[in-house]
Amino acid sequence: MNFFTGFLIGVVSLIPGISGGTILVLMKKYEEITQAITHFRSKQNLTILFFLIAGIFLGTVTFARIIELMFCFIPDITMLLFSGFVLFNIPTFIKSEQIKTNPFWFIVGIFLIFGLSFCSQNSSVVIIEYPSISLLFLLFFCFCGVIDGFFTILPGVSGSMVMMILGPYFLYKSFLANLSFQNIIFVLPLFFYFIGDALGFYLGSKVSLFFLKKYRNPFLSLVLGMVMMSAIIILPAPKYQLYSIIGYIFVLYLSYLICKILNHFN
């Protein structure tokens, strides 16, 4: 079950709008996994994490090419689909976590994501030219992994969504999708990214457990504000042709159905 949970996290780690932490909540594994991460030295927890990480790796590698093709051929629809995942997961997130919104921290969460959006590198949706791999770039990519892992473990917040706002998401996704013997050099940045990811997982588990125990409602209100603003940030620019409007409505309805199916197993 831990391997399957990891596989699902690996798949959704590439989908902006669905949180790895939310998958853990849906699978009723959140507390077990976060405890295993924060106390990883015990033999039992190492076994749990081994199967989890193996599942995450397989899920990520398997799904990367599919995401790459979606961004290549239907970028706006893909972004709209991901935005729908965020929007339609919000009511379930509020209900499952029994959030009584704290207005101050909710607004802080909104402005936090809004501020992050100004730091965006405006990366191309489909990567044609890759940056030269230097030590500085590898350290930067490792830091990106830390941010991704940190937010991924938080329930309701998608690490890949935050990375999309900041910019490096598309480069990371392209490295994964085009990894082959011809592009073996991609292993290096991905290795640094995964190291950062593991560190981010650890830090995110520590932080989330602390705030959920000590300041649960303000913390979840902050998370809710971040999620809400993220749905707005990643929305594609509207097109007012009739066929576009019908297509957008259909895609949003599809994302709603997917969210309903996922929440059915909660």
pLDDT digits (tens, 9 = 90+) for 53-96: 888 888 887 787 787 788 778 878 887 887 787 778 777 777 76
Q: What is the pLDDT of residues 125-159, one digit of tens each?
A: 556 677 788 888 889 889 888 888 888 777 666 77
Indicate the pLDDT class of residue 229, thresholds 50, 70 and 90.
confident
Q: Which residues have a Cβ under 8 Å from the Cβ of 108 and sit 6 or more positions away?
A: 222, 225
Indicate if the pLDDT at residue 227 is higher than 80: no
d(CA 266, CA 257): 15
Task: Pick 11 or 46 by higher pLDDT.
Answer: 46
* Helix, coil or strand: residue 40: coil
- For 87-116, what is the mean pLDDT? 79
- For 191-208, what is the mean pLDDT? 86
Q: What is the pLDDT of residues 164-185, one digit of tens each?
A: 777 777 788 788 777 777 778 8
In this predicted structure, what is the pLDDT of residue 33?
79
Task: Pick 214 or 244 by higher pLDDT.
Answer: 214
Whether residue 170 contacts residue 125, with contact meaning beta carbons closer than 8 Å, is answered with yes
Mean pLDDT over each residue of the chain, to the nearest integer: 77
In this predicted structure, what is the pLDDT of residue 20?
74
The percent of residues in the chain predicted with pLDDT above 70, rounded, is: 82
d(CA 20, CA 56): 10
Indicate if the pLDDT at residue 259 is higher than 80: no
In this predicted structure, what is the pLDDT of residue 35?
77
DSSP assignment of 188-241: HHHHHHHHHHHHHHHHHHHHHHHHHHHSHHHHHHHHHHHHHHHHHHTPPPP--S
d(CA 156, CA 97): 10
Residue labelled with tokens 């981010």: 200
How many contiguous H segments (helices) and E segments (strands) does the chain have? 12, 0
Indicate if the pLDDT at residue 122 is higher than 60: no
Q: Which residues have a Cβ under 8 Å from the Cβ of 94 and sit 6 or more positions away?
A: 101, 224
Q: What is the pLDDT of residues 21-54, one digit of tens each?
A: 766 765 667 777 777 877 777 888 888 888 888 8
Indicate if the pLDDT at residue 124 is higher than 70: no
Extract the tokens encoding 40: 């990883």
The percent of residues in the chain predicted with pLDDT above 90, rounded, is: 1
In this predicted structure, what is the pLDDT of residue 119?
61
Count other Cβ atoms within 10 Å, centred on residue 199. 16
Indicate the pLDDT class of residue 104, thresholds 50, 70 and 90.
very high
